[in-house]
Amino acid sequence: MERLQKLLARAGVASRRESEKLICAGRVSVNGRVVTELGAGADPAVDTIAVDGAVLSFDEPLHYLALNKPAGYVTSRSDTHDRPTVMGLIPEPLRPFVVPVGRLDLDSEGLLLLSNDGRLTHALTHPSFGVTKTYLATVRGHVSRDSLRALIRGVELDDGPAAASDAAVERRVGNNCLLRIVLTEGRKREVKRMCEAIGHRVVHLRRIAFGPIKIGSLPVGGHRNLSDDEVNRLYKVTRLRRGPRA
């Protein structure tokens, strides 16, 4: 018998903390009965555990996908407003198992990872592991060197200070600038809010790298499986030891 949040993390649904939120929200059931108590447990060998009605499998091989998310898609398994989600862009047989690794805003594009490796997902998204995410942001106006230095030193947001690991002007296009910004956090609308804090509104945002994984020539809306070498590099950057399950 194991606690439900631990089982959900092991099945790759989400980190333990996020799994606790799913339980409290009434989205988890055991043998058809909704469970909302964080201390509740289950035995995957005999119990049927489901999230949002999708039965979890604890024998499913680990999957690691890269997706080039288009604008207009919600980064979640489902949406209460019936908007299209990123799950509709991956093969149907994988949809009950994998979950998005972090988030991209509705109107943002670019690299999104999906997996059922809960331990790695947690490490890739938790700020304490310091995994970088690289973005290309088209902003209004020309960004000065002082403004770039301000992004790196840190700007004050409504939920606390935020700083870029790196920030540079890639090129100027008319009255706009294309910035390359590297972050180690993933707060809601963080890139957009940081740019607004230095006086520049983001008009287009695209993530081009997540740690060592680059978007490359993956077409918009397309997906691919990560190679074994790429998965090893993700484990290396998070300083986790890769287990035998594959």
Instruction: Measure the CA–CA gap between 49 and 56, rounded to whole angstroms.
Output: 6
Is 79 an annotated catalytic residue? no
Instruction: Measure the CA–CA gap between 178 and 166, rounded to whole angstroms.
Output: 14
Q: Where are the beta strands (DSSP E) in 116-175?
A: 133-140, 155-157, 160-162, 166-173
Bridge pairing between strands 109-115 and 223-225: unpaired
Cα atoms in the 13 Å half-sphere on the side-chain side of 185: 13
CA nearest neighbour of 179 among 150, 148, 210: 148
Which residue in the list 47, 79, 105, 107 is annotated as catalytic?
A: 105
> What are the catalytic residues?
105
